[in-house]
């Protein structure tokens, strides 16, 4: 089945540690996105990538980093510089052309900083 | 600034009654508008979109949305609500420029359908 796989589903981190969230898609989509979800604030865009080896900052990129070395993979690193990293993180992808912006989402990764 | 607003944090409706979840937008140019639904501890699922054409757009699970340009609104509707429709609903608008193509989401509206 085609889809997006995010791992791990739950992650606990101590303050000062970097963590990397995995996002893999087998939909052959060109574009991939990372969103952060907090209660009452909806989804906020962290980073997105329209093609391999290129990515752009979203609205809340500070304290995060990404890479896009392969079309199917878009990992997100939450660094120790992120002041309030506890949140639900959602990865999404979309095709280009007529289907653009119809995002397919993964099931999410919940990060808790202890 | 380009944005989308969902004025209601929660909407309560009895099963079998019609439901409306409100969304207003502010964009330059013609809007591309979307509705997504999220069930607990899951990612979002696409419901429907408006690009151009008929103002009434039909989507998944019996949902539809009405685009109103004069009121800059894109309200989600369903003629008869089901308990299984209870979820978090997000409106989104496309923001596009020479180097940008992304969706901006509203803050979400929790729909509670009571039996």
- CA of A18 vs chain B CAs: smallest distance (Å): 24
* B24-81 per-position pLDDT tens digit: 999 888 889 999 999 987 889 999 999 888 899 999 999 999 999 999 999 999 999 9
What is the phi/psi pair of residue A88, to 5°?
-105, 125
Q: CB contact, 8 Å: A48 with chain B?
A: yes
| SS3 label, residue B99 | coil
* A49-93 per-position pLDDT tens digit: 999 999 999 999 999 999 999 999 999 999 988 888 999 999 999
With CA atoms as reference, the chain A residue closest to B48 would be A102
DSSP percent split of chain A into helix, strand, coil, nearest 5: 5, 55, 45
d(CA A53, CA A70): 8
């Amino acid at each position: 089945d085609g889809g997006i796989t995010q791992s791990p589903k739950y992650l606990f981190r101590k303050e000062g540690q970097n963590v990397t969230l995995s996002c893999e898609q087998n939909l052959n989509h060109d574009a991939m996105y990372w969103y952060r979800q907090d209660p009452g604030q909806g989804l906020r865009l962290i980073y997105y990538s329209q093609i391999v080896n290129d990515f752009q900052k979203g609205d809340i990129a500070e304290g995060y980093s990404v890479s896009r070395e392969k079309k199917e993979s878009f990992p997100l690193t939450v660094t120790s510089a992120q002041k309030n990293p506890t949140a639900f993180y959602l990865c999404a992808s979309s095709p280009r052309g007529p289907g653009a912006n119809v995002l397919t989402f993964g099931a999410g990764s919940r990060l808790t900083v202890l | 600034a380009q944005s989308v607003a969902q004025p209601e944090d929660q909407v309560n409706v009895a099963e079998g009654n019609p439901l409306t979840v409100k969304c207003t937008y502010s964009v330059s140019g013609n809007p591309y508008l979307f509705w997504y639904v999220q069930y607990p501890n899951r990612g979002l699922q696409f419901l429907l979109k408006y690009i151009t054409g008929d103002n009434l757009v039909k989507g998944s699970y019996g949902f539809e949305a009405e685009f109103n340009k004069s009121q800059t609104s894109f309200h989600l509707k369903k003629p008869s609500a089901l308990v299984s429709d209870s979820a978090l609903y997000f409106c989104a608008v496309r923001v596009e420029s020479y180097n940008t193509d992304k969706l901006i989401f509203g803050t979400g509206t929790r729909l509670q359908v009571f039996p």
